[in-house]
Amino acid sequence: MNNLKKRQQAKQTSAAPQAAAALPPALHSRPCKPFSWPVRVYYEDTDAGGVVYYANYLAFMERARTEWLRLQGFEQPELASVHGVLFVVRAVRIDYLKPSRFNDSLQVTVEVVNVGGSRIRFLQQVLRGAEEIVRAEVDVVCVGSGGFRPARIPREMREKMEKTGTGTGN
């Protein structure tokens, strides 16, 4: 059975929870446990209302993706100098569900849900304990470090993700 038929069959038999229904179908079957990175909310992260300024969640997510990449054995400067590529954010779909405040201890998750030739789609969450604060779908694309044109994800990196089961083209 080819991959398209498998996906169509999985969609028909899927009984995804109501909360996940708003997310694209590829996010309903996630292959591995998400990576998690701790973040403490500092005073500088908050706005005049005393809650985390919305754009700071994007910075928290960027840090977590960088640490996830490091855990996979890849450093950003090495990707640029050895492979001639960079990863840039192409699109973000984000839901701000609850506020977080100064001194909150948060966990920022990183989960690969799909890998294409030059794109990686992540599902990221910001959690306070078991409470979901923010949910985002982030598309990151691989580009050449010289001209910022789309480039294929380095073979070594793709093989590592396939070996560890982190997003092998759902």
The catalytic residues are 47
Phi, psi dihedrals of residue 154, rounded to the nearest 5°: -55, 140
Helix (H) or strand (E) holding 9: helix 3-13
**3-state SS assignment for residue 33:** coil
152's tokens: 């294929």
129's tokens: 């304990």
Give the DSSP letter string of 102-159. Answer: TT-EEEEEEEEEEE-SSEEEEEEEEEETTEEEEEEEEEEEEEETTT--B-PPPHHHHH
